[in-house]
Amino acid sequence: MRSNEVKNRTNVDDIKSLRLITAIKTPYLPDGRFDLEAYDALVNMQIEDGAEGVIVGGTTGEGQLMSWDEHIMLIGHTVNCFGGSIKVIGNTGSNSTREAIHATEQGFAVGMHAALHINPYYGKTSLEGLVSHFNSVLPMGPTIIYNVPSRTGQDIPPRVIHTVAQSSNLAGIKECIGHDRVEQYTSNDIVVWSGNDDQCHDSRWDYRATGVISVTSNLVPRLMRELMFGGKNPALNAKLMPLMEWLFVEPNPIGLNTALAQLGVVRPVFRLPYVPLPLAKRVEFVNIVKELGRENFIGEKDVQVLDDDDFILVGRY
């Protein structure tokens, strides 16, 4: 299954240096299929506003609600249209090693620059099982490992990371545990991206995280770029905090999906089990936008509250 074409070879170091990676939203048509036109607009805005990479089909992009053929197609599409302008990191991880192997082979075959791998959520496994799982996919190409125990039910302990870091393909860790863990890695020369928008400023400037894999940057990419590139800036960080808190009032990407629909950049279509934030929260978002300045958000339409009836929820698609 291997390809040696130059176009399929990405240097791990090119991944290690990325500071702002956006976990990009997947927008839908009213029948639940991908809205590629809207998706392309979102990616273009990320490129214009300075994001250096996108996670395709992450939890934010609802990879968990995609069939694998949709997922790989979206990776291939993103590489084909935007791969020269932005790094494409496919979330080809799975709680099934078989699926992770298959998807990662396919993702690299269609040209993704790196893979994002999660530990086996829900099913979980032993530490030895974790190592076997990651070692099954690491040889395929540059890899970011994602640790988010609040979703997976299981922390990936540093000794597992240190073991798999023997592979030169390990680009780094997307870490959600907090500053101490970040520092533990960065002091051992392991690259870290913060997985928490509200911690990323401090992780970056106080604990030597390389950058962030961000949800918030879907909405305000330039501000997030400033936060990661512009030097320590607690004022900007504080200014963004209300938005970040609003975004995570319910499990992500519920807030993000609602916000993007309100900004008029995606259709108000939700794949279940996600449902929009309630009216009161939507009103709050309008105020947050005004506070931060509409011009800092993507899109050009006025931000709207939207009625409950404006949203389409799809279970079969």
Nearer to a second copy, 109 or 236 (CB): 109
Annotated catalytic, 146? yes
Q: Residue 280: which of 246, 232, 233 has the closest Cα?
A: 246
Among the residue ranges 122-130, 159-167, 231-239, 261-269, the one whose residues contact a second copy (CB under 8 A): 122-130
Question: Does 310 participate in binding a second copy (rule CB under 8 A)?
Answer: no
> What string marks each residue from 236 to 275 as x (binds a second copy by CB under 8 A) or -?
--------------xx--x----------------xxxxx
Q: Which residue has the tokens 């939507």?
A: 282
280 lines the binding site for a second copy (CB under 8 A):
no
Q: Whole-number minimum distance, CB 166 to a second copy, in Å?
A: 18
Q: Measuring CA to CA, which residue among 301, 236, 225 is closest to residue 263?
A: 301
d(CA 8, CA 162): 27
What gap in Å lies between CA 191 and CA 183, rounded to an integer?
10
Reply yes or no on whether 174 is catalytic: yes
Q: Which of 39, 146, 185, 207 is catalytic?
A: 146
Three-state DSSP at 37 gives helix
Query: Within its chain, how far is the Cα of 59 from the centroid?
Result: 7
CA–CA distance from 93 to each of 64, 79, 136, 140, 242 (Å)?
10, 18, 11, 13, 31
Per-residue binder mask for a second copy (CB under 8 A), 35-64, x = binder: xxx-xx------------------x--x-x
Q: Which stretch binds a second copy (CB under 8 A): 128-136, 165-173, 199-207, 289-297?
A: 128-136
Told to check if 166 binds a second copy by CB under 8 A, we report no
Residues with catalytic annotation? Answer: 146, 174
